[in-house]
Amino acid sequence: MTGDLQPAEDGTSPVPREELRVSYEDRDRVAEALRVAAGDGRLSAEELDERLEIALTARTYAELAKVTRDLPSAAGTVLGVPSPKDVVRIDCQSSSVERTGPWLVPRRMEVRVKSGVVTLDFTEAVITQPVLRIDAEVGSGALTLVTKPGIVVDMDEVTVRSGALEVKAPWGQDASVLRIEMSGKVGSGVIIARPRRPPRPPRPPRRTFWQWLTRHPRPRPAIGR
């Protein structure tokens, strides 16, 4: 999603630009750019085949971005993907706002959280620049940044009254993917940066009422399936 986010009155929200459907022309243009990159020695034959398959079956601009993000463009932007917005504003009162999947990261964000919850998941985000600046104002709510290796979060410019700041995965000082520089203030809420939580293990099968009544041993979960 790009642009200002407000709690929707009718439960709907506009389609983010990076999630818009691509045309045949978009796919062909990116495919040609990949062939040129291979001819210049930027991609091996195996990489070209793999990326061409993704490009020619891509449905959205975000999918095209994944195969071109590390290639130079004459326009200075990622091939096949709209340029990121200069600023995106999120105003969350008492609801929840999430950005997850292949969303296009802007150059700057202004996030206001009164008593709700805002989650920014960067694990699959489309990142086109090395630095993201976030100006945050959190009242009694929560702002969560879901990170991955190569993303560094700097919260030195955030002031806290009675809330908390937590960076659970600093990933050292090597911001090879993105450096997030945060400023702003926190009242009684929290700003937290953490990696994506691993999936929960499957629950063991339940006994039927008859098995429980006859004290039948609990069934063991299947292993190796």
Q: Are strands 88-92 and 108-113 parallel, antiparallel or unpaired?
A: parallel
> Mean pLDDT over residues 170-181, rounded?
72
Spell out the domain ranges in the chain.
17-66, 88-195
- In this structure, which amino acid lies at residue 76? G
* Percent composition of the chain: helix, strand, coil (DSSP 3-state, to 5): 20, 30, 50
Q: What is the pLDDT of residue 24?
A: 84
Q: What is the pLDDT of residue 81?
A: 57
d(CA 25, CA 39): 21
Q: What is the pLDDT of residue 202?
A: 72
Over residues 177-209, the pLDDT tens digits come to 789 999 999 999 999 999 987 777 777 777 776
Over residues 116-139, the pLDDT tens digits come to 999 999 988 888 788 999 999 999
At residue 142, does pLDDT exceed 80?
yes
The long-range contacts involving 212-216, CB below 8 angstroms and separated by at least 24 positions, are: none
Contact between 160 and 137 under an 8 Å Cβ cutoff? The reply is: no
At residue 42, does pLDDT exceed 90?
no
SS3 78: coil
Q: What is the pLDDT of residue 2?
A: 38
